Amino acid sequence: MAPTVSVVITTYNQAHYIGATIGSVLSQTLQDFEIVLVDDGSTDDTLARIGPYRDRIAYIHQSNGGVAAARNAGVRRSSGRLIAFLDGDDLWDPEKLEHQVAAAMAHPESGMIVVDGVEFSPDAILRRSLLGSPLQPLLRGQASITLRCYEELIRNNLISTTSQVMIPKAVIDEVGLSDERFPVSSDWDLYLRIAANHAITFMGQKLVHYRYLPSSASGPLHLRQFRWGLDVVRVLSKHARLASPGVRPLIRAELARQTRITAEGAYHYRNEVDRRWRRRYLFQLFLANPTSVGASVRLVAAYAPSFLRRNIGRLLRRMLGWG
């Protein structure tokens, strides 16, 4: 018989952590699951490290194609009614699947079940909640909340890691697989497509341990804002085309705001340190949203002499009210 849950673990050069990650799944109080592990072209000793678990997992090895491609390969191989994603360096508490499956059964209208957790490094707890701040007051005194939150998800990605989420397979079949064009924000794009037509259930239990590593797909903290920023602009541009007419003004306003903020940050971050990086990044941002005045101005300024940049900047700030 098909299992209730398919656990899709994706990994790339995480040999040092993959054994503990698999172990956290095998220790679940709910045992009605299968594990599909997708190795996205690891070059370390991942294969050797998973050797003791090979009789408990379905193993897929593929050429490196990014985390979205790896998740898609896992979903295609899955046979469970519910899909739970887990990154190859994160950990679950033993009750995670049990609580999520119970919530999925109690809320069949939900397109996704999301639990809370903590972010940690080898030395400390970095964040004591993985849920977006708008959810905190709503969950106070509640075990869970179920709500339509598409517009709030446009403004804020309320979920820190896919290791928090469980999605009915039928919902993925409905909205489609992860979009492999987005290197670091394919998860947010998937959540938006789900939230456009479904409620989402958020649970207050902290059942996920999200490991911070500078080598992760998002990169080190000081560069994440730029990797995320470019992807955010691309995702919003996509949804500005997909959304219903009533929501498009919100998405376009958020697209303009995010593009301007990202352009400003990139322009000043490496203003004198790495001009080539700055020009290349701003050009990519401009291509992602050619209608953005902020991206256009910063791209032009990146090529202008310093005395001209100062004068242009002052004039445009007055004209556009940027402060």
Q: Using one digit for the tens of pLDDT, what is the confidence trace for 243-285?
A: 999 999 999 999 999 998 888 888 877 555 577 888 888 888 8
**100 and 166 Cβ atoms separated by less than 8 Å:** yes
pLDDT category at 308 given cuts 50, 70, 90 is low
Q: What is the CATH number of the domain that holds 101?
A: 3.90.550.10
Q: Are residues 199 and 234 in the same domain?
A: no
Provide the 8-state DSSP code for 92: E
Residues 125 and 107 in one domain: yes
Helix/strand/coil for 184: coil
Confidence grade of residue 215 (pLDDT, cut at 50, 70, 90) = low
Evaluate if residue 201 carries a pLDDT over 70. Answer: yes
Which among 162, 192, 211 is the end of a domain? 211
Same domain, residue pair 193 and 135: yes
Among 129, 183, 182, 189, smallest CA distance to 157 is for 189
Same domain, 205 and 292: no
CA pair distance 152, 157, nearest whole angstrom = 8
Average pLDDT, the chain: 90
CA distances to 30, 93, 159, 236, 305 from 208, rounded to whole Å, are 16, 6, 12, 28, 50
Q: What are phi and psi of 63, to 5 degrees?
A: -65, 150
208 compared with 217, residue with greater pLDDT:
208
Comparing 42-46, 183-187, 315-319, which segment has the lowest mean pLDDT? 315-319
200's enclosing H/E stretch is strand 199-211
Q: How many whole angstroms separate alpha carbon 288 and alpha carbon 296?
A: 11
> How far apart, in whole angstroms, are the C-alpha atoms of residue 12 and residue 23?
17
pLDDT of residue 320: 54
Distance separating alpha carbons of residues 314 and 318, to the nearest angstrom:
6
How do 91-92 and 199-211 pair as beta strands? antiparallel
**How does DSSP classify residue 203?**
E
- Mapping DSSP to helix (H, G, I), strand (E, B) and coil, where does residue 99 land? helix
For 92, the token pair is: 């679950």
On whether both 276 and 184 belong to a single domain, the answer is no
Q: Which of 5-19, 58-72, 209-223, 252-266 has the lowest mean pLDDT?
A: 209-223
Report whether pLDDT(62) > 80: yes
Structure tokens at 202: 């958020």
Range of the domain at 235: 221-320
Residues 116 and 263 in one domain: no
pLDDT at 317: 58
Total domains in the chain come to 2
- 216 domain-assigned: no
Q: Is 22 within a domain?
A: yes
Domain assignment of residue 191, yes or no? yes
In a domain, 93, yes or no: yes
How many CA atoms are closer than 13 Å to the CA of 282, on its beta-carbon side? 28
**Are 234 and 286 members of one domain?**
yes
How many H helices and E strands in the chain? 13, 10
CA distance 132 to 205: 14
Q: What band does 323 get if pLDDT is binned at 50, 70 and 90?
A: very low
The mean pLDDT of 79-96, rounded to a whole number, is 98
Residues 151 and 184 reside in one and the same domain:
yes
